[in-house]
Each structure stands twice: as C-alpha cells, then as structure tokens.
Structure 1
Amino acid sequence: MAKEKIEVGVIGLGKFGLELALNLRKLGHNVVGVDTSEERVKAAKPYLAQVFQADGTDPKTLEQLSFQDFNYVVVSTGDSLEASVLVVLNLQEIGVNKIWVKAISVAHKKVLSRMGVDYVVFPEHFAAKQLAHKLSTPGMIEYLSMGNDILIKERQASDWAGKTLIDLDLTNNYQVQVIAIRKNGSEELNFVPKANESLGENDVLIMIGARENLLKLPEN
C-alpha cells in the first residue's frame, strides 16, 4: 500500500522551518512554504514547488493560500514570540485542524500549550537533552521524548553469543525490548528479530527502554 501523502504548510523558512520542509518533501509530502523574507523564499524555491513571500500574521493571506485545508501547519517564525502567537491565533481563526509550533523559550512553550496548540517543539532544549544522554549513556543511539527518559541503545552480543532472545528474556529481566539486530556487524537492521534464533558473537542488539533499565544491563 502506497504511503498517504499529506499537505503541510510551513510558516517561517529559517534553518528549522526550511530543514523540516525539505525533509517532508523527501518523504514525498506536499509542502507550501511561507516567509516574509525575499532572501529565504529565494533559497527555498529550488527545493519546494510552492513558496510564497507573504506575512503569516495576516489571516486573509493564510486563507487565500488555503492553509485551512492543509493536514498540518507548522509555525517557525524565528525569535519573535509575538509573531508566533499571532500566527497561531490566525490559523485557529480560519479553522486549521492541526497546528505544530517551534517554541523559542520555556515561557513561549507554556503560552502555546495553553492556547491549545497540538504539538510544541523546543529544538534547542531537545538537542541539549539528547546530547547529555548520549554523553552519559554508553552506546545510546537516540533519546526519545516519550516520558521516563526512553532511550534506544545498542549492545554487542559478545557474552550472549549462542543464546536466544528467549534465553535472555530481557523484557522480564530488565524491562527492555530488542527491536532490531545487526547480524555479524552488518549495517543492515533486521527488525522484529526471531526470538528463537541464536545470537552470534558479533551481532549487535538494538534495544529500547527507560534509561535506568538500560543501564542495568551487564556490560559486554
């Protein structure tokens, strides 16, 4: 089954907004970009089919560009809290269903949450937290913002060679779950690995779980 395309409006084509728009395009989705800066609009035009130099704080402009019909609208208006809040109010006024916003501070995030914004992202905060976890948790691949400090961590089988996932019973013993295995050091991931298949010494297990539980695993 083909992946369903979504229509996304991105207001603000600075570093975060443009990068998000480009990645959405790479994933096959339709993106309409808007920015007040002529320079940013020119920079985005080679990559986005529809880019407009327009003011997102003007509700008539948003309505004319059919933002009310998009599946999602992402607001990334740089360092202006006032502009961000005004854009959100305008989007709500014209009936946009799903609004995601980049916050520039904790206070901004609180305001947006109280306004009923569907999702608020604070990139600097998230990046700093992810780096802190990566520095303090050996083998960590990614930090997931899912509550309880959920991490994805890799571990070489080594001393678990010859055993199966059933033998290890990591879910019951450590409350972590193996989501993939790289066989014999390969870069290719084998997702949903067979629980009754013996592990090789050079196999690498990709596990997900709370940080405190992942740290309880024996070192290899």
Structure 2
Amino acid sequence: MAQKLEIGVVGLGKFGLTLAKAMVDLGHDVIGVDRSEANIRRAQGVLSQVYQADATDEKALEQIGFKELETVVVSTGSSMEASILVVLNLQALGVGRIWVKAMSEEHERVLYKLGVPFVVFPEAYVAFQMAHRLAAPGLHDYLGLGKDVVTREILVSKWTGKTLRELNLTNTYSVQVIAYRHSGEADFSFVPQADKALEEGDVLVLLGNTKDVIKINNY
C-alpha cells in the first residue's frame, strides 16, 4: 500500500479543491489554505483542516504548520505574482516537493527557473491531448499499455550522485526509466544514459505497474 501523505494545498478554487478532494478520497490528509471566505466555506465540507490565510505571508504559512510538510500544491488562481511569492515562501520554509499550477507559458518558465520540480499547466495539457486524439482517433488507446500501467515522475533526492546502472530500478522495482529532466529545465529528454550521475532536483519518469511504481520512495 502507498504511504499515507500529508499534503498542503494553497488555493481552493475549482482546481485546488478538486485535487484536494481526490487526495482525501485516496486516503491522504490534506491541509487547505485560501484567502477567500467563500472558498473556505466550500472546502470545509471536504477537508478536515482548512485555514483562511494569506499564503503570500511566510509567517502565516509557518503558523499553520506548512514548515512541517514535505509536499505542497500551489493553485492560487489568476495571480502569477502571488503564485511566485507563495513558492518563495515555501522554499524558505524548507518544503521539499512543490507542485504548482501554471497559468501561462511565461509563468511555467519562471517556475522552472525558480527550481520548482513539478509544474502543471492544465489548459495546455488538456488542449494538447484533445488535439492529438482528434487528429489520430484511438491514440489514447495505443498509449494506454494496460489498465494497471502508469507513469510517475520522481524528484531525485537521495539518489543524487548515483547512476541509473547503480540504481538498477528495472531489476529492483520492475520499472523502467523512460525520460528525464534536468533541474531548472522545462523540457524532458528521452533514453537517459545509464552511467550519467543524477543531480539533486532532476526528475525521472518511470513506467511500470501501479503496485511497483508506488513502492519507490526517493525522498
């Protein structure tokens, strides 16, 4: 069984609250934060821990307990400036795994430059998937290698300095590394070199069965 997580979600609009609910349904603990009283009221029926606070204030996040969290998702609505300030606050508090919803390509580039390992651009992702499925009907069926086959992004931490040959993930966990992204870069590269030492902040994309992929803990 996957490790139970305690995750912070900053911004409880449509995306943030939907994500928070999905994590709760999966059995994880979620701490929600938002400045909007209306968003807080909606979230109270979903989350057990909800706080009305300004996440651009580092002290407010510390008081809520975000300094103790390993993973935080930032989904702050339409303000790129607020999103960046929240990220800087989380980094100052020592949060290791920060996921951020990007609002534009410019926002996405800035976040990668700040060292954010996981950036999600939902509108662009959905548009890209739809365009390819419209142009090539059935493509998603081709990409779906089975009901229990998934990909997972892993942020390199304790594997820093090791090579893929040394990790031997295929024989150890029955998973395959299919892509990687260097820390601070926006684009993935494919067919990673087996003898190249990994750096902290790199991201590996693993392919395998769900039960095998979720066993891996690199943080």
Alignment of 1:174-213 (within 5 A): 179-180=145-146
Structure 1 runs (4+) deviating above 6 angstroms are none
Structure 2: any 5+ residue segments left out of the alignment? 150-177, 179-219
Change (3 A) 1:20 1:190: closer
Alignment of 1:1-220 (within 5 A): 2-141=1-140, 152-153=143-144, 179-180=145-146
Structure 1: any 5+ residue segments left out of the alignment? 143-150, 154-178, 181-188, 192-208, 210-220
1:99, CA displacement in angstroms?
Answer: 0.7
Q: Highest Rg: 1 or 2?
A: 1
1:68–1:97 CA contact under 8 A, matched in 2: no
1:190, CA displacement in angstroms?
Answer: 8.0
Which residue type is aligned with residue 123 of structure 1? P
1:99–1:118 CA contact under 8 A, matched in 2: yes
1:136, CA displacement in angstroms?
Answer: 1.3
Identity of aligned residues (%): 52
* Paired residue secondary structure (2:140): strand
Equivalent position of 1:174 in the other structure: none
1:39, CA displacement in angstroms?
Answer: 0.2
Tell me, in whole angstroms, the C-alpha distance in 1 between the residues paired with 2:111 and 2:123. Answer: 17
TM-score w.r.t. structure 2 length? 0.65
Change (3 A) 1:190 1:47: closer
1:3, CA displacement in angstroms?
Answer: 2.4
Change (3 A) 1:26 1:82: same
1:139, CA displacement in angstroms?
Answer: 1.5
Equivalenced residues, count? 150
Tell me, in whole angstroms, the C-alpha distance in 1 between the residues paired with 2:129 and 2:30. Answer: 28
* Paired residue secondary structure (2:67): helix
* Paired residue secondary structure (2:20): helix
Q: Which has the higher contact order (CA 8 A, sep 6+)?
A: 2
TM-score w.r.t. structure 1 length? 0.65
Which residue type is aligned with residue 80 of structure 2? L
Tell me, in whole angstroms, the C-alpha distance in 2 between the residues paired with 1:13 and 1:38. Answer: 10
